[in-house]
């Protein structure tokens, strides 16, 4: 079985990165795929959102060599999760002085078998941990809000991916851009989307994720939106995205 490792990145916080990792993963799982979610963000929002934040061991212990990745996996609603923790801040600091510091996660994920997808929720920065994710991944997924500053941030992401491709991971490709928190009533949202469609060569998924209160509520119940309210716009949007993702 070939495992697709996907780095979900955006260097800006609050952009729907964690929401996309959880709900795309859940939607892929419901389409029969075996999915592992990896919380690489020291803020551990993914772990909190799925109510797996109080585990005995986390990804930090795996980086330290104290645990194997299979030791810390937690099963939740058909998904497998590797929890993160604030200790990843210390891991990041220690990695800076290590030889081959960008390859630690790749060697960790080499232990993982029998998954169709590993989705990595990256930190909201272009950091050493994010560099590890990009070196380990085959694909990059970029959730974007339709805001003016989005365009500047997208350029930074593209440049980083290009540098990683040249230096560490020649097979890395951008799977596409996911439009999130989309409000069709806002003129600015439409204008930014049209600009992207006209000026960006990378794939922009047709399946847009609309503004939806259920997406915001679901983490309070430790669930993906598909498990929290399958009839909501948020659930339908991520289900559509998963189907399109598999076809892309």
| CA 24 – CA 17 distance, rounded (Å) | 10
Q: Which pLDDT value is given to residue 147?
A: 87
Q: Which pLDDT value is given to residue 223?
A: 97
- 50: its two tokens: 């799925």
User: Which residues lie below 8 Å from residue 18, measured CB to CB, with a gap of 6+?
Assistant: 41, 45, 46, 49, 121
Confidence of residue 137 (pLDDT cuts 50, 70, 90): very high
Weakest-pLDDT range from 5-9, 166-170, 188-192, 241-245: 188-192
The continuous run of DSSP H or E covering 35 comes out as: strand 35-39
Residue 193 scores a pLDDT above 90: yes
User: What is the overall mean pLDDT for the chain?
Assistant: 93
Name the architecture of domain 4-247: 3-Layer(aba) Sandwich (3.40)
Confidence of residue 60 (pLDDT cuts 50, 70, 90): very high
Q: What is the pTM of this model?
A: 0.95
Contact call for residues 27 and 119 (beta carbons, < 8 A): no
Return the residue matching tokens 């030791």: 71
Torsion of CA 142, 145, 147, 152, to 10 degrees: -10
Domain spans, the chain: 4-247
Residue 1 scores a pLDDT above 80: no
- Read off the pLDDT of residues 160-181 as tens digits, 9 standing for 90 and up: 999 999 999 999 999 999 999 9
Mean pLDDT value of segment 199-211 = 94
């Amino acid at each position: 079985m070939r495992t697709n490792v996907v780095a979900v990145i955006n260097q800006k916080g609050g952009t729907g990165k964690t929401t996309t990792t959880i709900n795309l993963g859940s939607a892929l799982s419901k389409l029969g795929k075996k999915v592992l979610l990896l919380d690489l963000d020291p803020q551990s929002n993914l772990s909190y959102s799925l109510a797996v934040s109080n585990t005995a061991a986390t990804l930090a212990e795996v980086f330290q060599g104290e645990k194997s990745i299979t030791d810390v996996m937690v099963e939740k609603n058909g998904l497998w999760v590797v929890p993160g923790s604030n200790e990843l801040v210390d891991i990041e600091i220690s990695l800076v002085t290590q030889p081959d510091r960008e390859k630690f996660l790749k060697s960790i994920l080499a232990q993982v078998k029998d998954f169709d997808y590993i989705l990595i929720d990256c930190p909201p920065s272009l950091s050493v941990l994010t560099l590890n994710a990009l070196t380990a991944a085959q694909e990059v997924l970029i959730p974007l809000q339709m805001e003016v500053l989005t365009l500047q941030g997208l350029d930074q992401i593209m440049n980083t991916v290009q540098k990683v491709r040249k230096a560490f991971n020649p097979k890395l490709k951008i799977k596409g851009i996911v439009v999130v928190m989309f409000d069709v009533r806002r003129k600015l949202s439409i204008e930014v989307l049209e600009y992207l469609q006209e000026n960006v060569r990378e794939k922009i998924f047709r399946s847009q994720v609309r503004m939806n209160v259920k997406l915001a509520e679901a983490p309070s119940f430790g669930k993906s939106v598909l498990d929290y309210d399958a009839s909501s716009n948020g659930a339908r949007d991520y289900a559509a995205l998963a189907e399109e993702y598999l076809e892309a």
